[in-house]
Amino acid sequence: MVNSTLLGVVLLARHGDRLEFFQDPLTYNPTQTFLTPLGSVQELQLGSFLRSEYLDSSSPTFIDGISSDVVNINQIDVRADAGGGGSVILNSVYGLLGGLFPPTPDNNITLANGTTVTSPFGGYQYIPVESVEPNLDISLNSFTSCPNFDNHINQFYASEPFAAEAAIAAPFLQQLQPFLGNRSTDFINMFNIFDFVNVQSVHNATFLQELPPTFAAQAYGFANFHENGVFTDASPGGIGNIAINTILPSIFTSLQSFANASNPLKIALNEISYKPFISFFNVTNATASQPLLGGIVDYASVAAIELHDALPEPLVNVRFKNGTTDPTFHDVPIFGQASVPLSQFISTLAPNAINTTKEWCIACNQTTLRGCSVFSL
């Protein structure tokens, strides 16, 4: 943590607990799933935690000048990935916002006739959320319908480290097979195997009772290897890191807005899946010192990219909280440092950024879907 005035924060938040989620291991095309009441509670708790960090004037990371009771909608920008399993991510962000800016009787208005009216549910605060539709805006869900990313996945599946890990996992997957219904135990299906085990362990009492105690953690470990290979790249600007490289432009714009005293923005909240987290920690070299960040972060995890006031220019630092069971933020060194000047943060990452749909179409070799047909590439 940097010990000076906080100018603003970009938040990357993962959705909460949901039902089973199948993704095609060759394309990561998703199927429909649903947020559970537990997931909504986890997001509300995350929002309350963030409120205590950023909106409580006694917190060392209180955001300078923020309206902390009744929201000022010019100070917060909220976007949610509308791809990936239907409404899970969008519905998650409403839970988070409910904790960040809870209902307050101060959310009232006095009418001309003298009557004071408080908004519904004891002063609920309706905060605008941009639903980022994958067919209109590639930024939060850039890893599907991307042929070059599919090639990257195939190359990973054909690689030597993949074969070696698959061989290590094989005896375990054989033991796990009776618990998996008819699901494929091919190692390329490892995310779906883990997800099934994880979801059943949370929601199915019989399954939880019958599954040997170490199996869930073992499945998690193998899935982490699998997803790390899919959502990273030997080069920070490589296609394997596309999940974060399409979000970078909005991160830069938000941080620059925080640094600009005439711009009201103070919080930029991006509600997303686990994938951009893996790529983010890869392109910022965070995993060099904290290898666990290379895995699937828990539900309702958050990465905070903070901008602190400093001379000659503001400093960027990152903190991470690993889901609901993790009680606090943890400092995450980026590029081997506790914090970096804003201009350095941007100049280091900017060469990797995918700034427009057209750049995405080119990076992916996509010529028809996701708005690419209008460009003659």
Q: Does 91 interact with ligand NAG (rule: CB under 6 A)? A: no
Q: Does 293 interact with ligand NAG (rule: CB under 6 A)? A: yes
Q: Does 234 interact with ligand NAG (rule: CB under 6 A)? A: yes
- Both tokens of 215, joined, read 């199996």
Q: Does 106 interact with ligand NAG (rule: CB under 6 A)? A: yes
Q: With respect to ligand NAG, which residue has the nearer C-beta, 12 or 82?
A: 12
Of 46-54, 125-133, 257-265, 304-312, the window that binds ligand NAG (rule: CB under 6 A) is 257-265
Q: Does 55 interact with ligand NAG (rule: CB under 6 A)? A: no
Q: Does 146 interact with ligand NAG (rule: CB under 6 A)? A: no
Q: Give the helix ranges, DSSP H, for the chain.
A: 37-54, 88-100, 120-123, 147-157, 160-176, 190-203, 205-210, 215-230, 242-245, 248-259, 275-283, 286-289, 342-349, 357-364
Q: For residues 115-144, which are near ligand NAG according to CB under 6 A?
A: 115-116, 118
Q: How far apart are CA 119 and CA 123, in angstroms?
A: 4
Q: How far apart are CA 319 and CA 13, in angstroms?
A: 12
Please say whether the beta carbons of 125 and 103 come within 8 A: yes
Please say whether the beta carbons of 340 and 307 come within 8 A: no
Figure out which of the listed residues 4, 188, 348, 369 binds ligand NAG, where binding follows CB under 6 A: 348
Q: Does 75 interact with ligand NAG (rule: CB under 6 A)? A: no
Q: Does 17 interact with ligand NAG (rule: CB under 6 A)? A: no
Neighbours of 224 (CB within 10 A): 20
Provide Rg for the chain, Cα atoms: 21
Q: Does 210 interact with ligand NAG (rule: CB under 6 A)? A: yes
Q: Does 182 interact with ligand NAG (rule: CB under 6 A)? A: yes
Amino acid at 157: Y
Q: Does 260 interact with ligand NAG (rule: CB under 6 A)? A: yes
Q: Does 289 interact with ligand NAG (rule: CB under 6 A)? A: no
Smallest distance, Å, CB 303 to ligand NAG?
Answer: 10
Q: With respect to ligand NAG, which residue has the nearer C-beta, 164 or 350?
A: 350
Neighbours of 206 (CB within 10 A): 8
Q: With respect to ligand NAG, which residue has the nearer C-beta, 260 or 373?
A: 260
Distance of alpha carbon 189 from the chain centroid: 22
For the stretch 355-360, contacts whose Cβ atoms lie closer than 8 Å and that sit 24 or more positions apart, written own/partner, are 355/249, 357/137, 357/138, 360/138, 360/142, 360/146, 360/242, 360/246
Q: Does 60 interact with ligand NAG (rule: CB under 6 A)? A: no
Q: Does 56 interact with ligand NAG (rule: CB under 6 A)? A: no
Q: How far apart are CA 153 and CA 25, in angstroms?
A: 8
Smallest distance, Å, CB 276 to ligand NAG?
Answer: 14
Of 72-80, 110-118, 135-143, 303-311, the window that binds ligand NAG (rule: CB under 6 A) is 110-118
In Å, how far are 14, 156, 187, 364 from 233, measured between CA atoms? 22, 10, 20, 14
What is the SS3 string spanning 249-281?
HHHHHHHHHHHCCCCCCCEEEEEECCHHHHHHH
Smallest distance, Å, CB 266 to ligand NAG?
Answer: 13
Q: How far apart are CA 218 and CA 290, in angstroms?
A: 20
Figure out which of the listed residues 53, 150, 227, 233 binds ligand NAG, where binding follows CB under 6 A: 233
Q: With respect to ligand NAG, which residue has the nearer C-beta, 82 or 190?
A: 190
Q: Does 376 interact with ligand NAG (rule: CB under 6 A)? A: no
Q: With respect to ligand NAG, which residue has the nearer C-beta, 34 or 207?
A: 207
Residues in Cβ contact with 98 at an 8 Å cutoff, skipping those fewer than 6 apart = 43, 44, 47, 124
Q: Does 262 interact with ligand NAG (rule: CB under 6 A)? A: yes
Q: How far apart are CA 331 and CA 206, in angstroms?
A: 39
Binding site residues, ligand NAG, CB under 6 A: 105-106, 108, 111, 113, 115-116, 118, 147, 179, 181-182, 204, 206-207, 210, 220, 232-234, 260, 262-263, 282, 285, 287-288, 292-293, 295, 298, 322, 335-336, 348, 350-351, 353-355, 359, 365, 367
